[in-house]
């Protein structure tokens, strides 16, 4: 009988040999296959509604003269994004009559989003304040529901070696859509008016509709749960009974915790800690964040196709932790526009690589019978650090200062990497390197 360690070592050798034969044409083949392209455009559809129910809508309310208290309350419209795992089992259990279990639900949610955007374009904040707020909540619910199914579809349609590239494309599409609905929409509103802007945003949703209609079906189909109770209980039971389940959960919660702490007070650090102006912060923080993270997710996606899932998570995770040292050095050096720009770019570049690998890891963990619920639940676990990092970070800075705080963010990243090392032989890391013979059958 072959020893498991020998099988694992042989798999690592096979992955290394596969990586050495990777050519430029192989990269292009990964980027432009129909599965990855469908994920790119669906990522765009996923990112488009968020700003339209939050920051862009707040801008519309602001220029319309609505009081600040009402505008503040409007922020509660984003609550469905936090609780989307509660109704995710419904989307695992029930199958729409057309376009299958995943694409069918994507089209249902997209139809709802388009209808809501068109309806909102006919209203005015001064006269229909409450109705617009209710529609914003409805849009957030439909958008969160769309996210559930797009994540499930992406997990199921991508082959194991495509998950890194697919995750990168999905994140890139999401970020581009955020720029369209959060930045370009404001320019449209300034020149064309708010009503025409929301109509145009509804038209942009057609990109996702086309992707859902013409996107390929997953190659391996799993039967949906037999009832709603099974759709809720079975995915939790299935995950908990896995080997290393507690280690996996710990790794999910802690893998990006150092990054979450480092990014939680970036604007405050630049303004209060270093003395930058608001304009400087806008240029340094926002621009470098977007550029660094988008480049990072693409490099991470390509790197994962060569390195495999485990080595990508480990290497990118180490770089993600080490990049926080630049913030510590910046706190020591003081106000420097160019060094601050480089530090934020590099940190987001490393964080983007780690995010691509981490999203691919979440995909690999999901059982195809319960993809919608498990993906939503696992990403909710991953967000715990981001939610609680801010309040704790403020206390740490108050007591220890910026230099020691950013040193601590490096230390905070180590437990997640430790849990990753403990589960390095888990079968979830198998078959995640690109092989030419797999592409030949695509």
363 contact partners, CB below 8 Å, separation of at least 6: 154, 155, 158, 163, 166, 167, 375
Q: What is the pLDDT of residue 387?
A: 66
Q: What is the pLDDT of residues 381-437, one digit of tens each?
A: 887 777 677 678 888 888 898 999 999 999 999 999 999 999 888 887 865 554 544
User: What residues does each domain of the chain span?
Assistant: 25-221, 227-431
Of 412, 172, 388, nearest in space to 294 by CA = 172
The CATH code that applies to domain 25-221 is 1.20.1250.20
Of 313, 37, 255, 249, nearest in space to 154 by CA = 37
Q: What is the pLDDT of residues 8-33, one digit of tens each?
A: 444 444 444 444 455 556 666 666 78
The CATH code that applies to domain 227-431 is 1.20.1250.20
Q: What is the pLDDT of residue 318?
A: 94
Percent of the chain with pLDDT over 70: 89
Percent of the chain with pLDDT over 90: 29
Distance CA 135, CA 380 (A): 25
Domains 25-221 and 227-431 share a fold: yes
- pTM recorded for the entire structure: 0.76
Q: What is the pLDDT of residues 67-104, one digit of tens each?
A: 877 777 777 777 888 788 888 888 888 888 888 888 99
Q: Count the residues in the chain.
A: 442
Distance CA 163, CA 155 (A): 8
Q: What is the pLDDT of residues 41-70, one digit of tens each?
A: 999 999 999 888 877 888 888 888 878 777
Confidence of residue 316 (pLDDT cuts 50, 70, 90): very high
């Amino acid at each position: 009988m072959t020893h498991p360690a020998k099988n694992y070592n042989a798999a690592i050798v096979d992955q290394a040999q596969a990586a050495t034969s990777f050519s430029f044409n192989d990269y292009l083949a990964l980027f432009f296959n129909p599965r990855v392209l469908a994920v790119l455009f669906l990522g765009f559809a996923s990112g488009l509604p968020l700003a339209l129910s939050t920051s862009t809508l707040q801008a519309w309310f602001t220029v319309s003269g609505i009081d600040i208290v009402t505008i503040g309350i409007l922020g509660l419209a984003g609550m469905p994004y936090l609780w989307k795992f509660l109704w995710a089992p419904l989307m695992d259990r029930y199958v729409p009559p057309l376009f299958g279990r995943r694409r069918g639900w994507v089209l249902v949610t997209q139809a709802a989003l388009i209808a809501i955007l068109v309806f909102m374009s006919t209203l005015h904040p001064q006269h229909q304040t409450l109705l617009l707020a209710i529609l914003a909540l409805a849009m957030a619910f439909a958008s969160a529901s769309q996210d559930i199914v797009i994540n499930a579809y992406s997990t199921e349609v991508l082959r194991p070696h495509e998950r890194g590239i697919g995750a990168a494309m999905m994140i890139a599409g999401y970020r581009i859509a955020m720029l369209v609905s959060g930045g370009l929409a404001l320019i449209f509103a300034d020149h064309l008016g708010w009503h025409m802007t929301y109509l145009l945003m509804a038209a942009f949703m057609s990109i996702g509709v086309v992707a859902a209609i013409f996107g390929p079906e997953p190659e391996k189909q799993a039967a949906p749960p037999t009832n709603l109770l099974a759709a809720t209980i079975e995915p939790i039971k299935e995950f908990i009974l896995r080997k290393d389940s507690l280690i996996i959960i710990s790794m999910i919660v802690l893998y990006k915790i150092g990054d979450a702490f480092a990014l939680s007070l970036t604007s405050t650090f630049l303004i209060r800690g270093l003395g930058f102006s608001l304009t400087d912060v806008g240029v340094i923080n926002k621009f470098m964040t977007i550029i660094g993270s988008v480049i990072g997710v693409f490099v991470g996606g390509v790197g994962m196709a060569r390195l495999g899932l485990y080595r990508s998570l480990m290497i990118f995770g180490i770089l993600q932790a080490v990049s926080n040292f630049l913030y510590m050095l910046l706190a020591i050096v003081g106000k420097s526009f160019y060094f601050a720009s480089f530090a934020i770019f590099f940190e987001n570049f490393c964080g983007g690589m780690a995010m691509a690998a981490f999203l691919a890891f979440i995909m690999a963990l999901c059982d195809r019978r319960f993809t919608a619920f498990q993906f939503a639940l696992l990403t909710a676990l991953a967000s715990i650090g981001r939610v609680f990092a801010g309040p704790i970070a403020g206390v740490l800075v108050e007591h220890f200062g910026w230099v020691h705080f950013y040193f601590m963010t490096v230390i905070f990243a180590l437990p997640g990497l430790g849990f990753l090392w403990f589960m390095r032989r888990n079968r979830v890391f198998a078959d995640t390197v690109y092989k030419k013979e797999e592409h030949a059958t695509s």
